[in-house]
Amino acid sequence: MADLSTRYGTRKRLPWLFPVVVVVGIVLGIAWAIWVATADKPFSARVYGYEVTGEHGTTVKLDIHRPQPRALECTVYAQSKDHAIVGERTITIPASKSETIRTTTSIVTERRAVTGVLKGCQVSP
């Protein structure tokens, strides 16, 4: 039996190729993470508080911070003790010069809720 390497030849592997690819991948990952962390965010919103006002109502307070005076649409919902969504409402926050605002909205619910949740906000079209 003949040795296959003498019959077909061998290819020389570049010993530095794999470490270079790994280092480039790590550097690109770190650069992307820094870019995402330092990018200007157009706005941020969070639930400041909520109050269950009765069997068919919940009030949600939102804190909104927006460096640019943009109009926003925010969707909030009320959730029951079994985690079902029992009411939902989308509100429009008009553009204004105030960077930080607090707004309150009421949600009509189909049954008693136990919490109010911010589903999300987006720039109003």
Which pLDDT tens digit goes with each residue over 51-104? 999 999 999 999 999 888 889 999 999 999 999 999 999 999 998 888 899 999
Q: What is the pTM of this model?
A: 0.67
Task: Look up residue 2 and give its two tokens.
Answer: 């003949």
Task: Look up residue 24 and give its two tokens.
Answer: 């480039």
Q: What is the pLDDT of residues 11-52, one digit of tens each?
A: 777 888 889 999 999 999 999 999 888 877 788 899 999 999
CATH (residue range 44-123): 2.60.40.3230
Q: Which sequence spans correspond to the domains of the chain?
A: 4-38, 44-123
Burial call 107-117: b when 16+ CB within 10 Å, e when fewer: bebeeebeebb
Nearest CA among 74, 25, 73, 66 for reference residue 44: 66
